[in-house]
Amino acid sequence: MNNRYISFDILERFVREIFVRSGVPEDDAAIATDVLLQADKLGIDSHGVNRLKLIYLDRLKEGIQSPVTNFEIIREGHTTAVVDGHHGMGQVIGYRSMQLAIDKAKQYGMG
């Protein structure tokens, strides 16, 4: 078996471009790409780039997953929030949720 190796920089550009061409906004594509590559860098292959076609591209193509993440806060307290990503990119939903939690923690000491 012949192994081929490419740099993470080339892989990052490739994956991000695939997301963008699939209708994912540039900023969201960058977040999703970063999450997949970080998983690979940490050796968590089950959540890395190998999921690109089988999970993300197929779901986007079939309309199961939306390329545009409509992040909505359903209910919110001082230190908590219930959010809905409306079948958008999970990495983006997670990123925005964490940013919301960090903002709450800065303001109230927990979030």
pLDDT at 3: 87
For 53-97, write each residue's pLDDT tens digit.
989 999 999 999 999 999 999 999 999 999 999 999 999 999 999
For 4-47, write each residue's pLDDT tens digit.
888 999 999 999 999 999 999 999 999 999 999 999 999 998 99
List domains and CATH numbers for the chain: 8-108 (1.10.1530.10)
Describe the crossing of helices 8-21 and 26-41 by its angle, rounded to 10 degrees. Answer: 140
Residue 23 one-letter amino acid: G
**CA–CA distance, 100 with 60 (Å, rounded to integer):** 26
Q: Taken in order 84, 73, 68, 8, is the CA torsion positive or negative?
A: negative
**CA–CA distance, 52 with 18 (Å, rounded to integer):** 9
pLDDT at 68: 98
pLDDT at 111: 62
**Other C-beta atoms lying within 10 Å of the C-beta of residue 60:** 18
